[in-house]
A and B are shown apart, each in its own frame.
Chain A
Amino acid sequence: MVSLKELSKKEEKLASGHRLCAGCAEPIIVRQILSATDEPVIASNATGCLEVATTIYPYTSWKIPWIHSAFENAASTIAGVEACYQVLKRKGKINREIKFVAFAGDGGTYDIGIQALSGAAERGHDFLYVCFNNEAYMNTGIQRSSATPMGASTTTSPAGSVIPGKKEFPKDLTEIMAAHKIPYVAQGSPGFYNDLIAKAGKAFSIKGPKFMNVIAPCPRGWRHPTDKTIEISKKAVETCFWPLYEVENNEYRLTGISKLIAEGKKEKLPIVEYLKMQGRFKHLFTEKYKHIIPEIQSRIDSDWGILKKKCGY
């Protein structure tokens, strides 16, 4: 268990005055993740809401060294930073420990950035990659990505009179990263901050490439009230839509509430509990499209079964 009292004494690495929407999950996740290490951290950031809203010139919310260079290359940019660190350390020009982190949205990770991420992971750079998964291209106005859930209405997968929103299930990027057999891969949710901070702390302590996929409710894109961000991020876990787990040295482990659900100590909620809180799924509650919900439920159940098996249940 992390101690919030202890954490509250540390200096914040993300300053107030950023212009992310009210209730946005992204800065919550940044604060939680960066609170997990006492070492100096350097971040790269892909183009997206977080990058734009925290560095509107001449202001920056970053109190750590930070670099944005483009959309698809948070991983290769931090790879260059880390490479430079390694050589300068070898030459004795730097002798302190520094942590490297890449921040990117789901668009910048699942889609356009997957090549750079895969490459940097395979090359073994010492960095933590954090994907802020708000399940769409939010900064350009809520377009679908390959992380967008089936049935969600976005501006490029709108729910219409014949098409019920996005027709495809999202790709499982966490599994793709686990298949890289890097030392640490995890899924987290800001609602379960203990779990998320513990995972980030573990990730920071491990050498080599680490990947964390964090669900990041977006009030604007998911169409939910700004005060429901945390509740929804918990419902995602409680319905097993977004299980909490980690893969450490290829060993799968459920964590937090997900572990309790697997062990029958906590109830697995039906997916409607998650869907009904969000406007992007509103059309699924109409006569015409209500058949979609069982499809989503059955996919979740099947994915959950597979994951449980991997975790030894």
Chain B
Amino acid sequence: MKILGMNGDNAVAYAMKQINPDVVAGYPITPQTIAIEKFSEYVADGEVDTEFVAVESEHSAMSACIGASASGGRVMTSTASAGLAFMWEMLYVAASTRLPIVMNVMNRALSAPINIHCDHSDSMGARDSGWIQIYGENVQEGYDNIIQAVKIAESAGLPVMPCFDGFIVSHAVERVEALDDEKVKNFIGIYKSEHPLLDVENPVTYGPFDMYDYYMEHKKQEHEAMKAALKIVKDVGKEYEKISGRSYDTLSEHRLDDAELAVIALGSTAGTAREAVDEMRKKGINAGSLKLRLFRPFPYEDIRNALKNVKAIAVMDRCDSFGAFGGPMFSEIRSALYKTSDAEVVNYIYGLGGRDVTTNHIKKVISDLNNISTTGKVKEYVQYLGVR
């Protein structure tokens, strides 16, 4: 093990160096750029065997990843915001062609107006594309997630999008416990594609024209693969704990055991939520928090279990779903709890375009929950937090 001081982007590049993928196709976009720059240095210094393709757009980045992954290579990329949006069409192709591509997303807001700072509109917009989505809280998790993602992707036969917060994680230098290269290598093993395009002796047709007679069968396969991925994420998390000492599951709880009030967040806000919970506890308020790590597949049973005893829940969405009844996580959590919980569930849309969220904000959220719990009344189910 090595202790390193790295920002999130460099940690991604470092993990990618240890993974030593066959092909990386990259394109610059803030706050992800540092990762591909750093990785380019590894390539330039001969520290990896990777064929690095400095493409002319993110659409081509994902297209090249698709070509390379279909060819039988281990393939990675990373992006953010407009880059991810530009790939949108190809995200679906990657997933439904069942290609185990790993792409780190450094979450950033979508235009307009153009904004380079963190929110989750980008990856949440891709939530139905068939990619497994894992959200990390800090640099260490960012590093750990990307290594696990390789194994998850290749076991599930689905692409994986590990995400973390742009700038907040991507540009923050933190202490990272990095595994030894050998350990990473053994953990991920050797990738062997079942039907590589490069096998000229056994020609495969990838990406045919599908009509109503078979399209639904192909979607059903994808549906089942995504369901099966839940256990894979858990298993890989347990395996990873054995080599790292750090445990990973679909979610993690903070003081939820005896809590009546719960705050749910993903990404870096989960840490802020824990602090807020601790401070409120000191004031005698029975709060807890839940950090969601896995968003796709959505671990609704784990969520039900974790929240079974709480009376009021605040779901923190760092992105709006305009016109919907709340943000994306809110809809999913309410749906997961339907008929299994009597808790009131409210939604806070916060932190858009990098708007700061502090412990005070979350303490206010917990106070709101406390009011709901004591009065039994909800003033507003969905509200913007920290807006003027």
Judge: A and B partners, yes or no.
yes
B64-87 CB contacts (< 8 Å) to partner A: 64-73, 75
| Bound form: Cα–Cα A258–B28 in Å | 45
Given the complex of chains A and B, what is the CA–CA distance between A2 and B374 in angstroms?
A: 89
Inter-chain contact A78/B67, CB cutoff 8 Å = yes
Would you call A119 an interface residue if the criterion is a C-beta within 8 Å of the partner chain's C-beta atoms?
A: yes
Q: What are 10 A-B interface contacts by the 8 Å CB criterion?
A: A53-B209, A62-B205, A65-B200, A68-B208, A69-B66, A81-B197, A83-B53, A84-B73, A86-B51, A116-B57
Q: Which residue of B has the minimal Cβ distance to A90?
A: B49
Q: Given contacts A56-B209, A68-B206, A91-B49, are A84 and B198 in contact (CB under 8 A)?
A: yes
Contact indicator per residue, chain A 61-88, by CB within 8 Å of chain B (1) or not (0): 0111111111011011111111111111
Decide if A60 is an interface residue (CB 8 Å cutoff).
Answer: yes
Nearest A-chain residue to B202, judged by Cβ:
A65
Query: A-side interface residues toward B, CB under 8 Å?
Result: 40, 42, 44, 51-53, 55-58, 60, 62-70, 72-73, 75-88, 90-91, 94, 96, 98, 115-116, 118-120, 122-123
CB distance from A107 to the nearest CB of B (A): 16
Give A79 to B199 CA distance when docked, in angstroms. Answer: 17
With a CB–CB cut-off of 8 A, which chain B residues contact A51? 209
The distance from the CB of A75 to the nearest CB of chain B, in whole angstroms, is 8
**Contact string, B192-230, partner A, CB cutoff 8 A, digits 1/0?**
000001111001111111110110000000000000000
**Binary flags per residue of B4-46, CB closer than 8 Å to A gives 1, else 0:** 0000000000000000001101000000000000000000000
Residues on A with beta carbons closer than 8 Å to the beta carbon of B56: 115-116, 118-119, 122
Contact B71 A76 (CB under 8 A): no
- List B contacts of A69 (CB < 8 A): 63, 66-67, 90, 93, 97, 206-207
Residues of B within 8 A of A120 (CB): 60
Given A78-B67, A79-B64, A91-B49, A67–B214 Cβ distance below 8 Å?
no
State how many angstroms separate the Cβ of A188 from the closest Cβ of chain B.
Answer: 25
Number of interface residues of B (CB under 8 A): 45
The count of A-to-B residue pairs whose CB atoms sit within 8 angstroms is 169
Q: Are A73 and B90 in contact (CB under 8 A)?
A: yes
* A42 contact from B25, B60, B200, B211, Cβ within 8 A: B200
Partner of B59, one of A60, A63, A72, A90: A72
* Cβ contact within 8 Å between A84 and B205: no
B197, A65: Cβ atoms closer than 8 Å? yes
Give the docked Cα–Cα distance between A302 and B127 (Å).
54
Residues of A within 8 A of B69 (CB): 80, 84
Q: Smallest CB-CB separation from A99: which chain B residue?
A: B200
Q: In the complex, are the beta carbons of B200 and A119 less than 8 A apart?
A: no
Query: Nearest 5 A-B pairs (CB), nearest first?
Result: A80-B67, A119-B56, A80-B64, A76-B60, A55-B208
Q: A247 CB to closest chain B CB, in angstroms? A: 22
Which residues from chain B contact A57 at a C-beta distance below 8 Å?
208-211, 213-214
Contact A65 B90 (CB under 8 A): no
Residue of B60, B71, B206, B208 touching A73 (CB-CB under 8 A)? B60
Given A42, A64, A77, A87, which contacts B63 in the complex, CB threshold below 8 Å? A77
Nearest CB on A from B54, distance (A): 7
Given the known inter-chain contacts A65-B203, A76-B55, A91-B49, please indicate yes or no for A81 contacting B71, CB distance below 8 A: yes
Q: Which residues of A contact B49 (CB under 8 A)?
A: 87, 90-91
Q: Smallest CB-CB separation from B215: which chain A residue?
A: A57
B342 at the A interface (CB under 8 A): no
Q: Do A73 and B59 have beta carbons less than 8 Å apart? A: yes
Is there an interface contact between A76 and B22, defined as CB atoms closer than 8 Å? no
Contact assessment for B67 and A67 in the assembled complex, using a CB-CB cutoff below 8 Å: yes
A84 touches B72 (CB 8 A): yes
Query: Does the CB pair B90–A70 fall under 8 Å?
Result: yes
Tell me whether B50 is interfacial, beta carbon within 8 Å: yes
User: Do B55 and A119 touch (CB < 8 A)?
Assistant: yes
Q: How long is the Cα–Cα vector from A63 to B202 in the complex, in angstroms?
A: 9
Question: Once the chains bind, are B66 and A80 in contact (CB under 8 Å)?
Answer: yes
The answer to whether A80 and B68 touch across the interface, beta carbons within 8 angstroms, is yes
Residues of B contacting A96 in the complex (Cβ-Cβ under 8 angstroms): 200
A160 to chain B, nearest CB (A): 33
B180 within 8 A of A: no
Complex CA–CA separation, A60 to B203 (angstroms)? 11
Q: Is the CB of A44 within 8 A of B22?
A: no
Select from chain A the residue with minimum beta-carbon distance to B93: A69
Q: Whole-angstrom distance from the CB of B112 to the nearest CB of chain A?
A: 22
CB of B190 to closest CB in A, whole Å: 10
**Contact mask B166-200 → A, CB, 8 Å, 1/0?**
00000000000000000000000000000001111
A68 touches B207 (CB 8 A): yes
Q: By the criterion CB–CB under 8 Å, are A76 and B200 in contact?
A: no
Q: Complex: how many Å from CA A87 to CA B68?
A: 10
B50 and A76 contact, CB distance less than 8 A: no
Q: Which one of A77, A85, A96 has the greatest number of beta carbons of chain B within 10 Å?
A: A77
| Residue B241 interfacial (CB < 8 Å) | no
Report the minimal beta-carbon distance from B4 to chain A, rounded to whole angstroms: 27
Contact B203 A85 (CB under 8 A): no
Name the CB-closest residue of B to A40: B200
Inter-chain CA distance A116–B86, complex, in Å, is: 13
Q: Cβ of B89 < 8 Å from any Cβ of A?
A: yes
| Set of chain A residues within 8 Å of B63, measured between Cβ atoms | 69-70, 73, 76-77, 79-80, 116
B204 partner residues in chain A, CB cutoff 8 A: 65-66
CB-based contact B72/A76 at 8 Å: no
Give, as a whole number of angstroms, the nearest-CB distance from A301 to chain B. Answer: 36
